[in-house]
Amino acid sequence: MPKRTDLKSILIIGAGPIVIGQACEFDYSGTQACKVLREEGYRVILINSNPATIMTDPEFADRTYIEPITPAFVEMIIERERPDAILPTMGGQTALNTAVALAEQGVLKKYGVELIGAKLEAIQRAENRELFGKTMREIGLATPRGSFVKTVDDALKFAETTGYPIIIRPSFTLGGTGGGTAYNAEEYRTKIALALSASPIHETLVEESVIGWKEFELEVMRDLKDNVVIICSIENVDPMGVHTGDSITVAPAQTLSDKEYQFLRDASVKIIRAIGVETGGSNIQFAISPKDGRMLVIEMNPRVSRSSALASKATGFPIAKIAAKLSVGYTLDEISNDITKKTPASFEPTIDYCVVKIPRWDFEKFKGVDDTLGIQMKSVGEAMAFGRTFKEALQKALRSLETGRHGLGADGKDAFDPELLSASEKAEWIEKVTNRLRMPKADNIFYVRYGLLLGMSVEELHAITKIDEWFLRNIEQIVRMEQELKAYALPAGV
């Protein structure tokens, strides 16, 4: 299918100011979309309140509005510019929510503006958890048991059926704001009240806990001819319970056999079709029980996301750029593969390396904030690295964080030297490390190393952290190599 000629001008909604959960990845996607659509000859109108973005540079759009990203302002722009379409999938949750509001208020209908990339119904099916759960059941996929509540009383009734912990996910909020995990009734009451007030529709999902399960993500693309390809699979090192944005993640998935991977692939294809995302990319998250392989669908983002930026860089497949082309009618086989230039974009990237992403936190700047990681994202950035082994990529990513560490150990910055500890000090440290690792925290990976240095076993560390033993074994290999090299150290003063 050639590109659409009935569209002349397209409005792109940016993501606004940098906040936790929505950072420069949406400048990257929005800029790509502006470039592509202008190259294709469309008149591009852009709204973004954040002037410190690339996309608001004058050359990226035909008309740039630096205005608040609210339905009222966007309506004024629509009235003035009369775009034929809005592309709402490039500017994160802010852009998507604004577009939904405009559609629901009848503004788009009034001015004859079409949503491209994702239609209103598709966005609603993906974002409304009740509708999402129903859609998943219709295609034979399971989601965690849950219920939507609007009052604390209803929430307590649900808790009686499942017990604790319970996950709280307020509807329509950004980066999981107002969400959390409750381990007891007291905590639950407080957190439900917070969640209800954070949700614009005063509603929250309460869900059976899959804390400790393995977490996977797939990046999916679909075109108007219904071709679907998977760009990348991602495995979270941190198990379920930690927001993906706060997890160390690895691409591709490391501990799935082909049969299990294909199950996720088939599920993703079914999901993007059932949700009805017509063109562009989506991110789908799954939880897998490490005991019996039971698989649950957690959620879907019907738009370009933080993970798509990662998947694009990890594979060389430019998701935002291709998504923009698909939104105006091109199909995957009509677009050329950015890497080979010769072959079409209708393929699934395969890589001969491993990619590790590590979040970067800045708790020093947020006094009083609990540095325990949960389902509300707390990191302010991330570093990614490539390696031919997981160990190599992990070390490079740790070094890239600019936290003053040169990798996992071997940089003289440890809190203690295990060889110099007395027996009682060692016991104290083991207790300290154990307690520390019980809760997911920002620098837990260094405590995993401490645990290994103190002689704790991979099995023990797995029991405490639920981090898959494959990752722990690899970390153990790094620690062993460090110790082996230490034996060759020159005496002091040489």
Interacting residues with other proteins (CB under 8 A): 225-227, 229-230, 252-263, 265-266, 289-294, 332-333, 343-344, 346-354, 388-390, 468-470, 473
Q: Name the minimum Å distance from CB 355 to other proteins.
A: 12
Name 63's bridge partners: 45
Closest CB to other proteins among 11 and 354?
Answer: 354
d(CA 446, CA 475): 10
Closest CB to other proteins among 80 and 480?
Answer: 480
Q: Name the minimum Å distance from CB 351 to other proteins.
A: 7
Q: Name the minimum Å distance from CB 471 to other proteins.
A: 8
Q: Name the minimum Å distance from CB 483 to other proteins.
A: 16
467, 249 Cβ separation under 8 angstroms: no
Closest CB to other proteins among 192 and 448?
Answer: 448
**Sequence letter at residue 268:** S
Closest CB to other proteins among 134 and 388?
Answer: 388
Which residues are CB-contacts of 381 (< 8 A; sequence separation ≥ 6)?
Answer: 23, 359, 360
Closest CB to other proteins among 53 and 465?
Answer: 465
Q: Name the minimum Å distance from CB 387 to other proteins.
A: 9
Backbone torsions φ then ψ of 269, nearest 5 degrees: -65, -45
Q: Omega before 17 cis (within 30°)?
A: no
Element (H, E) at 195: helix 185-198
DSSP state of 200: T
d(CA 410, CA 433): 19
d(CA 267, CA 240): 19
387, 356 Cβ separation under 8 angstroms: yes
Nearest to 92 by CA among 199, 37, 180, 20: 20
Q: Name the minimum Å distance from CB 452 to other proteins.
A: 14
Closest CB to other proteins among 42 and 390?
Answer: 390
Closest CB to other proteins among 291 and 365?
Answer: 291
Which residues are CB-contacts of 65 (< 8 A; sequence separation ≥ 6)?
Answer: 45, 46, 47, 48, 73, 77
Q: Name the minimum Å distance from CB 347 to other proteins.
A: 4
